[in-house]
Amino acid sequence: LVVLDDDPTGTQTVHGISVVTTHSESMLRTQLKRKESGFFILTNTRALHHDQAKDLLQVILINLRAAASKEGVEIEVVTRSDSCLRGHFPLEPDLVNRMIDPVDACILAPAFFEGGRITVDDVHYVREGAMLVPVADTPFAKDKAFGFQSSNLREWVVEKFKRERKHAPEVTSISLEELRHPDAVSQIASKLERLSNSAASATVGIPLIIILNAVNYNDMATFIAARARTKARFVYRSGASLVSAYLGIGKSPPLSPKRLFEASNTSSRGGLIIVGSYVPRTTAQLEHLLQKNVETLKHIELDVDEILAAFPDQRIGIVRNCSHLVNDAIAGGVDVVVSTSRKLVSSDEPSESLNMGKIISETLCDITRLVETKPRYIIAKGGITSSDIATKALGIEKATVLGQVAPGIPVWESSDDCSPKWPGLPYVVFPGNTGEDVTLGDLVWAFR
């Protein structure tokens, strides 16, 4: 299984699996030679405009197809994206269909159980406290680049295809009732074969979208078992939970600080927490972090308006000043958090909003790149932030997912053979929309 991950948070349900952030044919051949059950390719396309994402994915898929052909390996592809429905759909699965192998259907499975994202009666929900909220009623649906109006996934598919000026294919679903029937595996396998055979001759594009309703891993496992009995060819558009279910990766206990730092030579140094995500959940977590760790933490807030208005030489000055403060804090054994100001600055034009996000992310990367003292750990808060810090600031080309430090929060360890900035550094990928209000503060406290 090859997982094209549009930001690093897709690794939030797996452990003991590789992530590559470069996509050369030689790198992909090396990964395929390992004969592992699967691996991730970090694309970070959620941070790109439509045409940029398309160009990048075409290059990746050309290299992937060539690598698979030369290694004689058959592959299935997941385009893993946001469990709150943001991202380039239908672009990504459509490109897989056209450039890897024509498929019989696209499986739409956005569930992420650890984060409270489930699908019932074709409606996708986000758990907020004790409430299940239709996803279109959450702040994620108001995203300037990837906003949407429909919580019902049948309607959402039509909405997304219409936005790309395309006619939506047929949409059907697998219900919870079907998944929980005494003969579910056999019946769903037959349904998948029947649907695939009837749809295959209908169109030259993706002929069919199949929504997978699911509220837990038992539902997902039933579908995976049924899919294994068919000869149908699928591309998957999913949240993180389908990936671990497909690969048979079970839950593992949260990684303890002792496990993370047992081989560390940086025990006297501070950690670095970088907060780029602007969603309300992250803001609440940042506030709790600062309150809980007020005596052991240095906080540097970057004014987003100032950065966006700055001339290049002014921005360089901001970056240098901040990196000096971070370096001194880490060397002195003080944890330091660098955060963007909490006011959301955006544009009604999606491409302009992405450009603003790019400038802020580049600033955070430049600060990290100039820090000379290796921190005890790095926590990067937000999908795009964690991707850019990993690749552009730390030079991570390949990493192993060690596991999670809390549900849905993975830790990477960079591979020494690819010459990253700080080999072996525990790198915590903390999604912007994951965890409770106390999670970030409790994590930093535990790492002390």
Burial of 183 (0-12, 13-18, 19+ CB in 10 A): exposed
Question: What are the backbone dihedrals phi and psi of residue 353, each rounded to the nearest 5 degrees, phi first?
Answer: -60, -40
Identify the bridge partners of residue 413 per DSSP, sorted by sequence position: 400, 426
**What average pLDDT does the structure give for the chain?**
93
> How many Cα atoms occupy the beta-carbon half-sphere of 125 within 13 Å?
18
User: For residue range 357-414, what is the model confidence (pLDDT) as tens digits?
Assistant: 889 999 999 999 999 999 999 999 988 899 999 999 999 999 999 999 999 999 999 8
pLDDT of residue 397: 94
Distance CA 87, CA 436 (A): 24
Mean pLDDT to the nearest integer, 238-266: 89
Mean pLDDT to the nearest integer, 273-280: 90
Distance CA 6, CA 384 (A): 9
Distance CA 413, CA 59 (A): 26
Residue 263: which pLDDT band, with cuts at 50, 70 and 90? Answer: low
User: For residue range 24-48, what is the model confidence (pLDDT) as tens digits?
Assistant: 999 999 999 999 999 999 999 998 9
Residue 388, SS3 per DSSP: helix
Mean pLDDT to the nearest integer, 429-435: 90
pTM: 0.92
Burial of 87 (0-12, 13-18, 19+ CB in 10 A): buried
Angle, CA 237 vertex, CA 406 and CA 240 arms, to 5°? 10
Question: What are the backbone dihedrals phi and psi of residue 267, each rounded to the nearest 5 degrees, phi first?
Answer: -65, -25
Domains 2-247 and 257-447 share a fold: no
On the question of pLDDT at 204 being above 90, the answer is no
Contact present, 205 and 239 (Cβ < 8 Å): no
On the question of pLDDT at 203 being above 80, the answer is no
pLDDT of residue 384: 86
Mean pLDDT to the nearest integer, 289-317: 91
CATH classification (class only), 2-247: alpha beta
Mean pLDDT to the nearest integer, 183-199: 93
What is the CA 190 to chain-centroid distance, rounded? 32
Percent residues over pLDDT 90 in the chain: 80
Mean pLDDT to the nearest integer, 178-194: 97
C-alpha distances out from residue 162 to 124, 157, 169, Å: 20, 8, 11
Mean pLDDT to the nearest integer, 160-168: 94
CATH number 3.40.109.10 is the correct assignment for the domain at 257-447: no
Residue 307: which pLDDT band, with cuts at 50, 70 and 90? Answer: very high
Percent residues over pLDDT 70 in the chain: 97
Residue 424: which pLDDT band, with cuts at 50, 70 and 90? Answer: confident
Q: What is the dihedral of CA 5, 121, 200, 61, to 10 degrees?
A: 0
On the question of pLDDT at 419 being above 80, the answer is no
Mean pLDDT to the nearest integer, 286-307: 91
| Structure tokens belonging to residue 136 | 């279109």
User: For residue range 106-134, what is the model confidence (pLDDT) as tens digits?
Assistant: 999 999 999 999 999 999 999 998 999 99
Closest CA to 108 of 223, 249, 231: 223
E strands, 341-438, in order: 378-381, 398-406, 409-414, 426-430
Mean pLDDT to the nearest integer, 255-267: 80
User: For residue range 323-337, what is the model confidence (pLDDT) as tens digits?
Assistant: 999 999 999 999 999
Where are the chain's structural domains? 2-247, 257-447
| Structure tokens belonging to residue 276 | 């780029």
On the question of pLDDT at 136 being above 80, the answer is yes
Cβ count near 306 (within 10 Å): 12
pLDDT of residue 74: 95
User: For residue range 88-97, what is the model confidence (pLDDT) as tens digits?
Assistant: 999 999 999 9
Contact present, 82 and 239 (Cβ < 8 Å): yes
Lowest mean pLDDT among 153-162, 196-205, 283-292, 350-359: 196-205
